[in-house]
Amino acid sequence: MKVLMIPQYEKRRFKVQKGISVHEKREKENSKYLWKKIGAIDRKSDAYLFSEKYHLFGLIDEIVTFADGTMAPIDYKFSTYSKTVYKTHRIQILCYCLLIEELFGKTVKKGYIFYIRKGSKQVEINYNKRSKDQILKSINEILEIIQNEKIPPRTKYYNRCSDCTYKNICI
């Protein structure tokens, strides 16, 4: 997207369309008290955060505060939990942790993913020095691709290609 300037036509993708459906909005609305179950005392909804330092932006479903002053992001997924957290979901929530830590100047120890389809499952993702280092490394790798115009290698997991918008042009 940033090197070849070929947009990702997300609206054509069934899963993305599903993700922004009215049904999802209703499910999310029904889940609005879930944040209290994790012991938070306050929250902000739909927070748009941008960091020039980390080259990141994100629209975070909820940012919660705990009694000890620490904060955490919550991301709602309109899907069922399938025993494992996808790497992309984990990276997304850790990026939100990084954004909150920088922009609010608060300690962030964890983030949450709430899988809300057919009930709800709350998954806690630890945010610590190791995970922060991993995220910073990923950001640097992406910046290197963009700044050096270096095409990244294909994924080793070909099942990811089936609904990729670039599958017809990917080398």
Vertex 90, ends 32 and 10: CA angle to 5°? Answer: 80
Question: Helices 129-148 and 87-104, interaxial angle, to 10°?
Answer: 100
Residue number with CB closer to ligand SF4 (70 or 165): 165
Cα–chain-centroid distance for residue 99? Answer: 11
Interface residues for ligand SF4 in 65-104 (CB under 6 A)?
Answer: none
Per-residue binding string, ligand SF4, 138-167, x by CB under 6 A, is: ----------------xx----xx--x-xx
Query: Minimum CB separation from ligand SF4 for residue 171, in Å?
Result: 8
What CA–CA distances, in Å, run from 74 to 12, 40, 50, 105, 134?
27, 11, 17, 18, 20
Query: Minimum CB separation from ligand SF4 for residue 28, in Å?
Result: 27
Residue number with CB closer to ligand SF4 (146 or 170): 170
Contact 90, 125 (CB under 8 A): yes
Residue number with CB closer to ligand SF4 (105 or 153): 153
Q: Interface with ligand SF4 by CB under 6 A: which residues?
A: 154-155, 160-161, 164, 166-167, 170
